[in-house]
């Protein structure tokens, strides 16, 4: 005899019915929990693209605060939940990280845990003093300018590369480079040595040797060129003049070296009283080249020296039209005439110093 539906239900003990109900509730709760976990891990939780900078020594709360400040996350709590479960607070990696829009918590945390940074483009040119370079580097990278300057002035570091305090600037070749944001000053200098070795290839070394110059002498002349003119098309001719004077044993008499010795590149008119300044960089008193570069010359200036024009010019003077170009001369008499015209133009424009 078959049982009807009512009889079937009554056939199960009460405890059994509660067990079935409990299982159903458990399954539903697990499904809800699993859905929540899945969403926390894999659902998009970001609103825009962000370059996140995590300082050395930062703790998890600093990372969260930065993400909040930049309004990067849609749901901060879910990010914290996933971060804690993936033990990210114990694995903070400093650096710069590009985080994209539409990423999940899982993707963001995996990147931050990995320490795979997004390189920062660092550009420096027209740099005169180490203080200027330190400030420029600190603008792009994590260490402050004082930390960079301490390394750039550290003679022990320089000697480790076979250089002196005066010759150290030859390592620094202005350009655009990629660095990790938390690059230390020591690692920066190490990278510059690598770039220096790459720059001074066999071809450039041969050109320097053909001119009977060392790389240091080439860069030193280039640094003076860079202060003398911003006209790249006359730099090779000007380099030829300097090389002619060096080879003949003449005083270089380069005005930019006086400005460097006085620590003032804003001087527009080098007066006779300035020429007596006591400094190894005063090329009006000391024969030959100064002991090192007076700035960090760019590649164009260095290559202008390596490709110096073969000429017989011994003098040059800024043109009286203030065009930035120069008059070149073979003789002192011709040079004096050029100089008189320029000085007259300065007087007429009331430029006295």
Q: Specify whether 137 is located in the same domain as 266.
A: no
Spatial distance between the Cα atoms of 264 and 16, rounded to a whole number of angstroms: 95
In a domain, residue 29? The reply is no
Q: What is the pLDDT of residue 344?
A: 86
pLDDT in tens, 214-227: 999 999 999 999 99
Spatial distance between the Cα atoms of 72 and 283, rounded to a whole number of angstroms: 58
pLDDT in tens, 325-346: 999 999 999 999 998 998 888 8
Domain hosting residue 140, numbered range: 120-199
Q: Specify whether 81 is located in the same domain as 65.
A: yes
In a domain, residue 150? The reply is yes
Q: Specify whether 279 is located in the same domain as 310.
A: yes
Q: Specify whether 245 is located in the same domain as 313.
A: yes
Domain ends where: 145, 167, 199? Answer: 199
Q: Do the beta carbons of residue 143 and residue 184 sit within 8 Å?
A: yes
In a domain, residue 45? The reply is no
pLDDT in tens, 147-171: 999 999 999 999 999 999 999 999 9
Residue ranges for the chain with pLDDT beneath 50: 1, 3, 9, 27-35, 38
- Predicted TM-score (pTM) of the model is 0.84
In a domain, residue 12? The reply is no
In a domain, residue 15? The reply is no
pLDDT in tens, 106-163: 999 999 999 999 999 999 999 999 999 999 999 999 999 999 999 999 999 999 999 9
Q: Specify whether 209 is located in the same domain as 292.
A: yes
Domain count, the chain: 3
Q: Specify whether 256 is located in the same domain as 339.
A: yes
In a domain, residue 34? The reply is no
Q: What is the dihedral of CA 327, 332, 337, 340, to 10 degrees?
A: 90
Q: Specify whether 179 is located in the same domain as 298.
A: no
């Amino acid at each position: 005899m078959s049982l009807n539906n009512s009889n079937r239900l009554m056939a199960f003990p009460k405890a059994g019915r509660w067990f079935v109900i409990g299982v159903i509730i458990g399954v539903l709760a697990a499904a809800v929990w699993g859905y929540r976990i899945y969403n926390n891990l894999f659902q998009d939780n970001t609103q825009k693209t962000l370059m996140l900078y995590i300082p050395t020594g930062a703790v998890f709360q600093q990372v969260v605060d930065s993400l909040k400040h930049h309004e990067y996350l849609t749901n901060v709590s879910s990010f914290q939940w996933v971060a804690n479960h993936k033990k990210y607070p114990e694995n903070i990696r400093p650096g710069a990280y590009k985080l994209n829009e539409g990423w999940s918590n899982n993707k963001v945390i995996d990147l931050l845990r990995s320490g795979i940074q997004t390189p920062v483009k660092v550009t420096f040119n027209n740099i005169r003093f180490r203080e200027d370079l330190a400030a420029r580097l600190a603008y792009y990278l994590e260490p402050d300018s004082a930390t960079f300057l301490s390394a750039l002035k550290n003679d022990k570091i320089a000697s480790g590369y076979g250089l002196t305090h005066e010759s150290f600037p030859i390592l620094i070749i202005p350009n655009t480079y990629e660095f990790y944001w938390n690059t230390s000053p020591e690692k920066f200098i190490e990278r510059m040595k690598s770039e220096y070795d790459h720059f001074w290839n066999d071809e450039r070394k041969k050109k320097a040797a053909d001119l009977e110059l060392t790389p240091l002498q080439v860069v030193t002349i280039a640094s003076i060129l860079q202060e003398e003119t911003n006209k790249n098309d006359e730099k090779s001719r000007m380099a030829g003049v300097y090389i002619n004077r060096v080879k003949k044993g003449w005083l270089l008499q380069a005005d930019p070296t006086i400005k460097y010795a006085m620590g003032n590149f804003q001087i527009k008119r080098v007066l006779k009283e300035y020429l007596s300044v006591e400094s190894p960089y005063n090329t009006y008193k000391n024969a030959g080249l100064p002991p090192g570069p007076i700035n960090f010359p760019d590649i164009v200036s260095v290559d202008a020296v390596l490709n110096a024009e073969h000429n017989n010019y011994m003098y040059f003077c800024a043109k009286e039209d203030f065009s930035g170009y120069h008059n070149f001369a073979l003789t002192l008499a011709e040079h004096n005439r050029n100089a008189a015209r320029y000085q007259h133009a300065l007087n007429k424009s009331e430029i006295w110093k």
